[in-house]
Amino acid sequence: MSEIATAQDEQDARRHLLLSSPAIVIMILLGFIPLMIVVAYSFMAPGDYGGVVPKFSFEAYVSLIFQRDMFDDTLTFSSSYLEIYIRTAVFGVATTIFCVLIGFPTAYFMATRPAKQRNLWVLLLTIPFWSNLLVRTIAVMFIIRDEGLINTVLMHLGLIDRPITLLYTNFAILLGLVYSFLPFMVLPIYASLEKFDFRLVEAGFDLYASRFKVLTQIIIPLAKPGIVTGSILVFVPAFGAYVTPLLLGGGSHLMIGDLIALQFGSSRNWPLGSAFSIVLMVFVLLALLFQIRRSGQVKHG
């Protein structure tokens, strides 16, 4: 009996392995190997015209926070990259927060429409994806530049005499990031609210809860899986954003993504670019671990 069961188990295990092998092969080819190449590059020296020289070196990691003097080789602390890390983290977190603040009411609105209308709202939400991110970002530039829609309207209304500088500011970057990633927040929250049993809201009111308490004690906790998923979907790409800060920040408010592109491009320092990529990934992983642990605790606590 037990022998038969063991043989059966072995056969099952073999079958599972075989069936999952395409996925495993793809993950190794497209995920693991490129990642290992990046890790390897980050420990090498830069070639003169890009690429790497296969020579072991910590130099890329050292230059993340130190600047090497050109003449006497002494290391001095440099905050210029650190500022970019911090700015990236702040933009990542701020984008996520604003996306939750705007995305939750939007998703709630969509989920409370009659069932027939909901698909239309989802469709409307996906319209921005029909065009390229670059085009959409440039469109944002046209709206917020000095001669753009906002300033023109405000001046015509006589509210301001001179255009307010909006483009090439931190505000512009944040606006661009929130605009680009908002649908990634709305859709998962909508998905969890659509399944939400609104009779629980009635039960809450029946048990003396105010509107605010119903929102914070019943609706938000039950929409939490959607909020967590949305936050990950927004935070991760916002953290590595490249086009938005480059265009809307005018090159003066760089994020890690731009820095990486710069190293592989005009700076021709592939090891440093690789080291930045690793740092970015570690940040994202830490943030995700933190978030997963927190949401896990709430569930069990």
Residues lying near other proteins in the complex (CB under 8 A) are found at 197, 199-200, 202-210, 213, 217-218, 221-222
Compare residues 61 and 205 and give the one whose CB is closer to other proteins.
205
Q: Which is nearer to other proteins, 225 or 250 (CB)?
A: 225
* Min CB(299)–other proteins separation in Å: 8
Nearest-approach distance from CB 196 to other proteins, in angstroms: 10
With beta carbons less than 8 A apart as the criterion, state whether 186 and 103 touch: yes
Chain Cα centroid distance, residue 122: 21
Cα–Cα separations (whole angstroms), residue 259 to 4, 165, 172, 221, 246: 59, 25, 19, 38, 10
Q: Give the torsion sign (CA, 191, 193, 199, 203).
A: positive
Residue 294 exposed, middle or buried by CB count within 10 Å (0-12, 13-18, 19+): exposed
Residue number, 124 or 298, with CB nearest to other proteins: 298
Min separation Cβ 188 and other proteins, Å: 17
Nearer to other proteins, 72 or 197 (CB): 197
**125 or 209: CB nearest other proteins:** 209
Smallest gap from residue 213 Cβ to other proteins (A): 6
Residues 6+ apart with CB under 8 A from 69: 75, 76
CB nearer to other proteins: pick between 220 and 285: 220
The angle at the Cα of 88, spanning 87 to 92, to the nearest 5 degrees, equals: 115
Give the nearest distance from C-beta 226 to other proteins in angstroms.
13
Structure tokens at 296: 């896990």
| Shortest distance (Å) from residue 106 CB to other proteins | 23
Q: Are 175 and 140 in contact (CB under 8 A)?
A: yes
